[in-house]
Every structure is written in structure tokens, then in C-alpha cells.
Structure 1
């Protein structure tokens, strides 16, 4: 009996440090950063420098995995259902909360729900920007609205999919301006931008990151922006609020999420790592160059932001209603 007790006690002494080391070692292998859109969109632009900074910090690979489709729902759902061990993360956009509500409106069971994901940290929160081709006839927002009123349904705009951030922002503007625009959904912000640059569509509500370089290169013209104040890099572009559209305010944010059952110790490690990662000079340079300055929020600050913004966006989706 005493021998069995000694063996059990010895096993406990041996196993306990092993368990502690396993927790302390996170991450001990590659950590996937899922982006629910094709390359080139806002989530991708934020995810890549964040993953690079984490790789330098952790000395482990952090590959960005683009898993697009269904306006972001496929990639979001894949992380919601992933093993909750901290090795599959999501760089989500504000559409995260809108897509399940859109499914309900259209009589479909949501492929995921927001309570399946734990908010880890907000990285950026930028207003979207209304951009058109530089050779278009519209030099001002007033030009655009006047033409749209003359030709209802004739002006086309692209988006990252039905009920995506880019769709909802344009729907908010069109409703406030009393104009009818033709929505052409694509499978992500990158393809939506390509459609505008190629002339397939005529307008786009873009995140500032993807739009800034195209505006600087003279390929696109920015007519207005959805923020309460003018965004860095777009200081010469008026806001919709300045133009009298008081209810047109929208932000495309990017934040890191994990499956909700991820252990608290791993979530804490992730938050601490991301707090350190956003101080990385390479990350700061990359996001500044993309026109997406860091707006880091973690813990209760991000959870509150996410809850309040999600409620506002769900109401916006409900106003759009069913999309055939």
C-alpha cells in the first residue's frame, strides 16, 4: 500500500511540472492566422504584418491562411469550429457580427454565431472610403449623388459579398442620399478592388489600406469617407457627416479572435503577445504605409467595443433586409 502511494505521489511530482511546462511553452508549433477573404483586402493587409511580428516574438511560424467565400462566413465558421487550443486564430472584420444576422433574415441557419468566438485584441479601426476610378466623371460627392439621382440603378459598386462591411457601408450611404445603386458582390475586398480598377464596376466603399496606394498612384479618386473625422492619408477628403449625412458613419475594424473554449491562460498569453507585437517597428511601418494606423484595444475595452459595434451593425443589416 505504501509502495503504491509512493508511486502515485512520485507520478504526481513528475507530471505536474510537465503540465506546467506545456502551458508555459505556448506556442510550441505553428499558429494559423485565418483571414476569411482572398488576399488584398483589409483583413489580409492587417493580418500579414501582425503574423510577421508574432513570428519574430514567438520564433514559431504564423502562416496567414486565406479562406474566403460567402462574404467571410466560411473562414469565420472554420475558426469557430476549430480545436480551441490557441493554434487557430481569426483576423476578423466588422462583418463578423453581420453575417449570422443576414443568414437569419434569409431563412438560413447561421454557419456560426459570435458567441463561439472570443475577442482577443482589436488591431485597427478605420473608416471606409468611397472611391471611384480617376477617369470617372465624378470629381466630388455632389457629382456622384446628382448623377445617381438622374440614372437610378445605373451606377454599379462592388463589395466583398452580400452583407459584408463594404456592402453595408454603401447601403447606409445610398439610403441616406435617397439614391439607387446597383450592388455587385464579389468574394472579398481584393476582388472587389480589382473589379473597380478594371472598370467592371464604378464605385467601391474600401478600407483605407487597400485604397490609399491606388489613390496616391492616381488610379482612383476618393470622394468621401465614413468616419467622424478625416482619416490619415485622406486629409483632403470630406466625411459624409461634413456633407450633411448625419447618420452615415461606418468603420471597418480588424481584430483577432480565438475559439471561445480556448483556455484562459492561452487567451491571456495571446493578449500579452499582441500587446507586444503592436510595438514592433516593422508592423507599425507596414500599417502606417497602408493607411491603417494601430488602434489597439484588449480585454474589456475590446469586448465592450465589439459588443456595441456589433449591435449597431446588426441593426443596419436588419434595415437592408432580405437580399435576393
Structure 2
């Protein structure tokens, strides 16, 4: 699987781009990690480009609905997509048919953030740390439930990794986004979940208990919280990279301009702090580096998808 890169199917660049407002499609519901990352870079991107950048949330089907909108838009730089990397590295494995081909119909523009996932439970959950959590779930096979933003989402894949490596059995409840899954955890309808960052304020307020980080390294936001690798699951890595895409054929000059501007924005304290507040990390990359990260993720997540026989909603 290979993504189209800048320069493929290039159209002539419009004069004086941008000359009108730009639509930024977020292919997940409002309130989730993708939406919050989009809003972290939106205002400075408007200032840099001198045109409004209007966010439009088009969630559903693991990001495919919003991705399809952008893939079938004119490649003129006026319709962009902010998505989790999973739309490119995961969805082709879990959907028998997609309305578009992310490898051919979209071009990577700029990475925005490395999104970590946090293993969270309510304060009354019997386990106090990751090791006791693993022991408790293992001692109660099939009795506990976990939520996710949907089949094949990074929090879902993180939990399947956890189940596979630790030999756990638990029931999956897929939602249409991270925010509604979080609501049900807080309300007692779920036992645990991997959170992509929207639960951070609840963790800080003591309404949720953070047991571990599903990344190779600890989160700078919670430096005292161990990784799952430290808790006995070597090599555990469920990180994903969120970023901007454009329709294939978008002029390479526009892609290069957007990449430069986004990377400059990610160096600014304000956007970096907003992304950190989600528990993520600003991750400036070239389009090629963003592409290569997606390919690496596809290999890593593809293995879990095949093992767990995950299919799209």
C-alpha cells in the first residue's frame, strides 16, 4: 500500500492561492481528538494564509465519510482533511469496500500531532495500577466491557493489543467518537477504555483514574505514569499520528506551502500547549515522513487487525 505523494497528478496551481476561504473537513465528531487538534491549528493557519479556514465535522465509518468528501473534492487547495492516520493505515484492512482509495485519492500534507492513548478507569475500579488492572481483568474473563470511538480506531486497536499480549477477554462497545465513549465510562456503563486525550481534564480533576500510557515512552503531561511496556507488556505501542491530507492532484506548491505553515504553527507555544493538553505531542514532519509513518503503522496495526479479525462498523 502506498500513498500518493506531492507531484503525482499535479494540476496547475491557481493564481494567488489562497484567494477564498478554505474548508477543513474533520472526519470525526466534534469534541474528539481530531476535532481538538484541528481547532488547535485553525486560528494560526487562518492568520498565516490570510483566509478563513472553516472546520466542518463529517464523522462516521471510522473516518471514511469525511475522507470520501475530501477525496472527491476538487484538488485546488480549498478542501482539506484533518484525520487520524488510521483512515490510511487501518481502514483498508477493516473495510471490505471503501468509497475511495486513501492510497490513491489523497495526498499527505502535514503531520500535526502524535496522539497517545491512556488506559483509564473510574476511581472506584478495584485496580490501583496497570499490573493489578491486568490481573483483575484476567481473573474476570468476559465480565468487563471497554469502549472505543469505533471499530478499528486507535483506542480499539490499543485494547486488542492489550488483550492479545496479556491474554485478556473483555467485551467491546464501539461508539461514534471518543466523546460519547467517555460519557458512558463516566456514567458507569463501561469498565475501562483507552482514551485518545479527551479524558485528560477528567483525569486531572480526579474523576477518572489513569493507570498506564499505551506508548513507547511516558507522556510529558503525566511523567509519573508508567507505560504498559513498563507494566510488563514489552514493545507496546498504540500511538497514531494525526494530520492534514488533500485530494490527490493538489498542486505540489500548495502542499509544500501548507506543510511549511503547519510546521511553523507546531513550533509555536500556543498550539503546542493545546496539543499537549490533550496528552499528545506536536509532530512536525515532511509529507514524505508523514507518508512513511503511515506505512509503518499499517504494518503494525495490520497484524493486530488480522489476529483479532476486526471489521468496520
Q: Which has the higher helix share?
A: 1
1:102 matched to 2:94:
yes
TM norm structure 2: 0.90
8 A contact 2:25–2:79 mirrored in 1? yes
Partners of 1:322 and 1:48 lie apart in 2 by 31
Aligned to 2:195: 206
1:23 matched to 2:11:
no
SS of the residue corresponding to residue 297 of structure 1 reads coil
Distance apart, 1:39 and its partner CA: 1.4
Distance apart, 1:143 and its partner CA: 2.4
CA shift digits 1:97-131 (9 cap, x unpaired): 21121013xxxx12222212111111111331111
8 A contact 1:160–1:188 mirrored in 2? yes
Aligned to 2:158: 169
1:89 matched to 2:80:
yes
Distance apart, 1:322 and its partner CA: 4.4
Unaligned runs of 5+ in 2: 1-11
Radius of gyration: which is bigger?
Answer: 1
Partners of 2:56 and 2:180 lie apart in 1 by 17
Structure 1 counterpart of 2:49, from 42, 58, 67: 58
SS of the residue corresponding to residue 111 of structure 2 reads strand
8 A contact 1:121–1:256 mirrored in 2? yes
8 A contact 1:100–1:111 mirrored in 2? no
Partners of 1:170 and 1:290 lie apart in 2 by 19
8 A contact 2:266–2:283 mirrored in 1? no
Aligned to 2:234: 246
Aligned to 1:75: 66
CA RMSD of aligned residues (A): 1.8
Aligned to 2:25: 34
Residues 270 and 24 (structure 1), Cα distance of their counterparts in 2 relative to 1, 3 Å cut: farther
1:129 matched to 2:118:
yes
1:195 matched to 2:184:
yes
Aligned to 1:158: 147
The structure whose RCO (Cα within 8 Å, separation 6+) is larger is 2
Unaligned runs of 5+ in 1: 1-19
8 A contact 1:126–1:231 mirrored in 2? no
SS of the residue corresponding to residue 169 of structure 1 reads helix
Aligned to 1:318: 306
TM norm structure 1: 0.87
Structure 2 counterpart of 1:141, from 121, 130, 137: 130
Partners of 2:119 and 2:262 lie apart in 1 by 31
What pairs with 1:304-315 in structure 2 (closer than 5 Å)? 304-315=292-303
Distance apart, 1:54 and its partner CA: 0.7
SS of the residue corresponding to residue 193 of structure 2 reads strand
8 A contact 2:123–2:209 mirrored in 1? yes
Partners of 1:148 and 1:61 lie apart in 2 by 49
